Amino acid sequence: MKQDPEGKKVLVIQTHGVETPRRTYSPLFYAMAAAAMDMEVVVWFTMDGTSQLKKGEAEKIKLDPRSDVTLQTMLERAKEEGIKLRVCQQSMTLFDMTEENLFDGVEIMGAATIIELALGSDLVMNF
Task: Work out the pLDDT band at 17, boundaries 50, 70, 90.
Answer: very high
Note the pLDDT tens digit of each residue in 87-97. Answer: 999 999 989 99
Fold for the domain defined by 9-120: Hypothetical Protein Ychn; Chain: A, (3.40.1260)
For residues 77 and 69, give the distance between their C-alpha atoms in angstroms, rounded to a whole number.
11
The answer to whether 87 and 47 have CB atoms below 8 angstroms apart is no
For residues 24 and 21, give the distance between their C-alpha atoms in angstroms, rounded to a whole number.
5
The answer to whether 75 and 83 have CB atoms below 8 angstroms apart is no
Average pLDDT of span 57-63: 92
For residues 13 and 45, give the distance between their C-alpha atoms in angstroms, rounded to a whole number.
6
Question: Could you tell me the residue ranges of all domains in the chain?
Answer: 9-120
Q: Which ranges constitute the DSSP H helices of the chain?
A: 22-36, 71-80, 89-92, 111-119
Task: Work out the pLDDT band at 65, boundaries 50, 70, 90.
Answer: confident
Taking CA atoms, 13 is separated from 2, 43, 47, in Å, by 25, 6, 10
Task: Work out the pLDDT band at 2, boundaries 50, 70, 90.
Answer: low
Whether pTM exceeds 0.75: yes
